[in-house]
Amino acid sequence: MTSANDGDRPHGHDALNRLRRSATHATEQGVGLVKQAARANGAEESGLTALLRATVANFATDAAIAVALANTLFFASPATQSRVNVALYLLMTVAPFAVIAPVIGPLLDRVQRGRRVALAATFALRVAVIVLLIFNLDGWALYPLALTTMVLSKSFSVLKSAITPRVLPPGIDLVRTNSRLTVFGLVGGSIIAGGVAAGVAFLFHSTGALIVAALLAATGAVLSLRIPSWVEVTEGEVPATLGHGGDQENGHRSVLPTRQPLGRTVIAGLWANGAIRVLTGFLTFYVAFVAKSSGESALRQAIMLAAAGAAAGIGNFTGNFVGARTELGKPRTVIIACALSCVAIAVAAALLDNLVGAVLAALVASASTALAKVSLDATIQDALPPESIASGFGRSETVLQLAWVTGGALGVLLPTRYWQGFTVVSVLMAMACLQSVVSYRGHSMLPSHRREPDRTEPR
């Protein structure tokens, strides 16, 4: 028997080696495909690949911090206390957008030099804040420190919007470029790094996830400094403002304006996109609170959250992937179709009044978010002159994030009965969609707004 076993060992060892070589080869091929995709269409030469790496690091840092805070504020507390904790946390998320809109956004618009250093600074400061968070997870400083990480993350987003037009590869427009950045950020940052942080948090609690976040932020600082120097050339940019004024018929002008209104078409698209973001923000918190108040076992609660999270992830990736590779036709039609689809699925979820409806809503809402945002980007690119496009992206993103926060607040405050929550959200979304439709026609349901002209005039 001994000799037989000894004779079998080489065969088992060879099989293990073959399996290891196959796994290594598959991993190398996967990494190679990712690198090839990141460098495709001249992205390496234009500097887009370098910005893409920094963007992935930003997504990854945000995901790791979110895991750590969720583990502290939600899962570690009873249902009632979790609702209070998350409500406070959500309240803190309003502050970054309130700060960025009137102060940080215009300030970064005026930064003509040192944008790479500013990007790196948003990461380096997060490393310092994360270290402080590690020692204040149970103290009063948790909320202001969490707020600071959000402000720095949104500052990165504003700077990235200003840099992206400077690293466009030949033959690729801003719409496709933004979709590529989002897809890589979701896969490499939110999904992979978020999964790693979740695993570390399971083993070492929130402290472990924060250590992962600090390492990712430090990496992001280094990657930001590797972005090519030509992104610093920004003379002639004109800040965009959240104003009406119609569609931009042409970008020719003799005198450069000091401010450029976004225009009627962009504002109308923002109303519809905002309606979709209300639903996605609502679902982010609402399903979690319904699960926690259900009285089910911890395993059942985890399954409920995993189902909704998986649906949202699949929808988000699919929407961005399709948006990056498909000509979507008329952006206005796509935006309205996505918004109406979200209203319809929210009504269906209210009628179903169960987890299945919530999961379907998460799938449709996340896919619609991506497709509508791609179409909004196309609208901004067509409606604004080249010198205002980068600023226009930053302004629109601030509005959409505020809409997401509004939906998140509803997810925290509304009763934990599916039909009640989805009914309220459906009504609000329908009103925003109606405002979008009438805005496209030059009217408004808001009494303070008069009929808008057909042309965006610089001011």
Domain boundary among 208, 235, 262: 235
Asked if 204 and 307 sit in the same domain, the reply is no
Task: Provide φ and ψ at 38, rounded to 5°.
Answer: -70, -25
Those residues with Cβ within 8 angstroms of residue 225's Cβ, 6 or more apart along the chain or in another chain: 116, 117, 120
Spatial separation of the C-alpha atoms in residues 169 and 164, rounded to whole Å: 10
Asked if 335 and 291 sit in the same domain, the reply is yes
Integer angstrom CA distances of residue 65 from 136, 193, 221: 14, 11, 16
Asked if 264 and 382 sit in the same domain, the reply is yes
Spatial separation of the C-alpha atoms in residues 134 and 359, rounded to whole Å: 34
Asked if 156 and 218 sit in the same domain, the reply is yes
Asked if 201 and 289 sit in the same domain, the reply is no
Spatial separation of the C-alpha atoms in residues 455 and 245, rounded to whole Å: 6
Domain boundary among 235, 256, 279: 235
Asked if 322 and 341 sit in the same domain, the reply is yes
Alpha carbon dihedral 241, 242, 247, 250, in 10-degree steps, equals: 10
Answer yes or no: is 2 within a domain: no
Asked if 272 and 180 sit in the same domain, the reply is no
Count CB-CB contacts under 10 A for residue 213: 30
Domain that holds residue 438: 240-459
Q: Which residue carries 């009632």 as its tokens?
A: 80
Domain boundary among 235, 270, 295: 235
Tokens of 251: 């970008």
DSSP tag of 446: S
Answer yes or no: is 254 within a domain: yes
Residue 43's identity, in one-letter code, is: A
From 216, 211, 61, select the one nearest 150 (Cα to Cα): 61
Asked if 415 and 457 sit in the same domain, the reply is yes
Answer yes or no: is 111 within a domain: yes
Answer yes or no: is 222 within a domain: yes
Asked if 226 and 281 sit in the same domain, the reply is no
Spatial separation of the C-alpha atoms in residues 320 and 390, rounded to whole Å: 20
The kind and range of the H/E element at 240 are strand 240-241
pLDDT at residue 348, rounded to an integer:
96
Asked if 263 and 165 sit in the same domain, the reply is no
CATH classification at residue 298? 1.20.1250.20
Answer yes or no: is 4 within a domain: no
Answer yes or no: is 367 within a domain: yes
From 193, 45, 61, 40, select the one nearest 119 (Cα to Cα): 61
Tokens of 264: 């009627």
pLDDT at residue 20, rounded to an integer:
54
From 275, 284, 96, select the one nearest 190 (Cα to Cα): 284
Tokens of 246: 């119609």
pLDDT at residue 388, rounded to an integer:
77
Integer angstrom CA distances of residue 243 from 266, 267, 455: 9, 8, 12
Asked if 231 and 251 sit in the same domain, the reply is no
pLDDT at residue 454, rounded to an integer:
43
Work out how many domains the chain is built from and give that number: 2
Asked if 131 and 207 sit in the same domain, the reply is yes
Say whether pTM exceeds 0.85: no
Tens place of pLDDT for every residue, the chain, 459 residues? 445 455 554 555 566 566 555 545 443 443 444 555 555 556 677 778 888 889 999 999 988 988 887 767 655 555 555 556 666 665 555 555 555 555 555 565 555 567 788 889 999 999 999 999 988 877 777 777 887 887 788 778 778 877 887 787 877 777 778 777 888 888 888 888 888 888 888 888 888 889 999 999 999 999 999 888 777 766 666 777 766 654 444 444 434 456 778 888 899 999 999 999 999 989 987 887 787 777 667 677 778 877 888 888 888 878 877 776 766 668 889 999 999 999 999 999 999 999 999 999 999 999 999 899 888 988 888 888 877 776 777 778 778 877 887 888 788 788 888 999 999 999 999 999 999 998 888 777 776 555 554 445 444
Spatial separation of the C-alpha atoms in residues 46 and 169, rounded to whole Å: 5
Answer yes or no: is 83 within a domain: yes
